[in-house]
């Protein structure tokens, strides 16, 4: 089973594009439809009557498994990166531009990407009541690999594996999907002293690729010295007492080595939020706002997904096995069939049927916003993952505080973020007309890091009446004063 772990782990390492949303910009009262993915109530506070997002991309890198030594993201362009080789004294500790490993006992990989495609929102007055409606499209990728028992550290350090090792249970999943959502928000409780806003996103999920791997119990790994005719640098490794379920589906054609886009799964998602606002009726801006949101409640069903189960089979020879070493693996199915042959003497014995579900990365998002003075705001965000469905994806936990200046044609701010409650990051954003550029972890982009393992950048291009202002909006309103 170890080869299967390595295969999946390599995939996850190379897919390290992830998103955590640029919270500083999404708290901006001019963020419009972009902010619906964080809180379905936030577009209600946009000062503009309409808003169009052409494209926005949020890219985030973070893990505590591997890093590049003494480098920044900008410095990677055109710079050759060397793989660590402790036996040749090539490590990230003693030289720059080395791809090396932390080699902790446990490792975390949280991976996601979020691209917001053509989307829009608009305000409408229906029976003298304000409503906000929006439509958005997204391309998303998410992977969660938490508390992985890092048996791979022995190979990374090029030291012999222990004779006996029990690999702890783990689970990991990956999904690549598209999303089309309808946003709506309006006021509720009209007689309250506070202003209350209810917002929802109804989402149709289009599943493209997915994988789910669960190890249910301790796997016993035995390591022995190789025989004379085997690779002297690699010990023999055998796995027993395994109980692993592996499911997957993909649009990648391994024969033609091309990606063939088609829908492999479908599902529904729901975001719901409520905001309580202390509104100054003489001004457009609120004095304070508190919102509570449940985001990504739902799942995607892959009816044709392939399921394999490896349980109570023969002891599997993982490393130095000529059946593995001499094979050219071209697809996951080919490798799973070879494992089945080793475990049961039948390449089809592990096939357990078709169809599986992946839960969306459900989270609770809480926001408090306080106006300091006109156009100046202080925001605090707390995002906590709360997996609901079986095989749910898991996003990163976040505590974020930011301070921003928000005007019609320009906005900017600074932020600090505690990701996974242990990684402290600093960033900010600037909104200049139709262009928004930001980062919640900017230092690794610009400055060399001793161990480059995390970074974030956010880019958006929007269309909206950024030349609008309070005086022009007032002139457009119908006067109901006495004549």
Residue in the block written with tokens 């409780």: 189
| Packing angle of the helix pair 332-344, 2-14 (nearest 10 deg) | 160
Neighbour count for residue 189 (Cβ, 10 Å): 13
pLDDT of residue 95: 94
pTM for the model stands at: 0.89
Order of strands, sheet of 316-319, starting from the edge strand that comes earlier in the sequence = 164-167, 219-224, 236-240, 316-319
CA quadruple 387, 142, 32, 455: dihedral positive or negative? positive
The Cα 35–Cα 37 span in angstroms is 5
User: Per-domain residue ranges for the chain?
Assistant: 2-42+119-407
CA angle 331, 212, 105 (to 5 degrees): 100
Mean pLDDT of 88-99: 94
The Cα 425–Cα 400 span in angstroms is 9
Distance of CA 45 to the CA centre of its chain: 26
Q: What residues have CB less than 8 Å from 88, skipping those under 6 apart? A: none
Residue in the block written with tokens 């902790």: 104
Annotate 209-233 with DSSP letters as a single string. Answer: EEEEEEE-SPEEEEEE---TTS-TT
Give tens-digit pLDDT for 157-180.
999 999 999 999 999 999 999 999
Distances in Å between the Cα of 312 and the Cα atoms of 129, 239, 241, 242, 344 are 64, 11, 6, 6, 9
Cα-flanking dihedrals φ and ψ of residue 435, to 5°? -105, 130
Question: Is 479 a residue whose pLDDT tops 90?
Answer: no
Token output for 93: 């500790």
pLDDT of residue 10: 39
CA quadruple 24, 27, 28, 34: dihedral positive or negative? positive
pLDDT of residue 481: 47
Residue in the block written with tokens 């801006």: 285
Annotate 156-177 with DSSP letters as a single string. Answer: HHT-PPPSEEEEPPEEEEEEEE
Give tens-digit pLDDT for 273-326.
999 999 877 677 899 999 999 999 999 999 999 999 999 899 999 998 888 877
- SS3 for 421-446 is CCEEEEEEEEEECCEEEEECCCHHHH
């Amino acid at each position: 089973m170890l080869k299967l772990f390595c295969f999946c782990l390599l995939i996850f390492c190379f897919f390290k594009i992830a998103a955590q949303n640029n919270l500083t910009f999404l708290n901006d009262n001019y963020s419009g439809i972009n902010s619906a993915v964080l809180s379905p109530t936030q577009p209600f506070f946009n000062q503009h009557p309409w808003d169009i997002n052409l494209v926005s991309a949020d890219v985030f890198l973070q893990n505590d498994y591997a890093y590049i030594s003494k480098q920044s993201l900008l410095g990677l362009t055109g710079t050759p990166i060397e793989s660590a080789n402790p036996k040749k004294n090539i490590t990230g500790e003693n030289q720059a531009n080395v791809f090396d490993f932390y080699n902790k006992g446990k490792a975390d990989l949280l991976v996601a990407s979020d691209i917001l495609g053509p989307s829009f929102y608009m305000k409408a007055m229906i029976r003298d009541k304000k409503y906000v409606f929006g439509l958005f499209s997204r391309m998303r990728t998410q992977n969660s690999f938490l508390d992985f028992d890092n048996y791979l550290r022995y190979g990374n350090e090029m030291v012999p594996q222990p004779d006996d090792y029990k690999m702890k249970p783990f689970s990991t999943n990956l999904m690549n999907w598209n999303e089309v959502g309808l946003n709506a928000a309006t006021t509720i409780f009209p007689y309250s002293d506070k202003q209350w806003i209810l917002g929802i996103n109804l989402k149709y999920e289009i599943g493209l690729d997915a994988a789910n791997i669960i190890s249910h119990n301790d796997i016993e790994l035995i390591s022995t010295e190789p025989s004379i005719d085997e690779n002297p640098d690699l010990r023999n490794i055998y796995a027993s007492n395994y109980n692993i379920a592996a499911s997957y589906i993909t649009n990648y054609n391994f024969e033609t080595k091309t990606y063939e886009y088609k829908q492999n799964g479908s599902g529904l998602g729901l975001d719901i939020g409520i905001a309580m606002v202390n509104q100054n009726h003489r001004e457009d801006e609120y004095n304070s706002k508190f919102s509570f949101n449940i985001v990504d409640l739902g799942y995607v069903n892959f009816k044709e997904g392939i399921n394999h189960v490896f349980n109570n089979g023969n002891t599997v020879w993982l490393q130095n096995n000529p059946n593995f070493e001499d094979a050219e693996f071209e697809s996951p199915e080919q490798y799973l069939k070879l494992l089945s042959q080793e475990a049961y003497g039948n390449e089809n014995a592990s096939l357990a049927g078709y169809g599986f579900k992946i839960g969306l990365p459900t989270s609770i998002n809480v926001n408090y916003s306080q106006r300091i003075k006109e156009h100046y705001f202080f925001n605090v965000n707390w995002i906590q993952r709360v997996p609901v469905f079986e095989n749910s994806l898991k996003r990163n936990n976040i505590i974020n505080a930011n301070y921003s200046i928000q005007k019609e044609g320009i906005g900017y701010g600074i932020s600090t973020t505690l990701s996974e409650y242990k990684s402290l990051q600093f960033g900010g954003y600037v909104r200049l007309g139709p262009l928004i550029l930001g980062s919640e972890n900017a230092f690794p982009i610009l400055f060399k890091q001793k161990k480059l393992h995390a970074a974030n950048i956010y880019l958006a291009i929007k269309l909206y009446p950024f030349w609008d202002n309070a005086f022009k909006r007032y002139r457009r309103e119908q006067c109901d004063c006495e004549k």
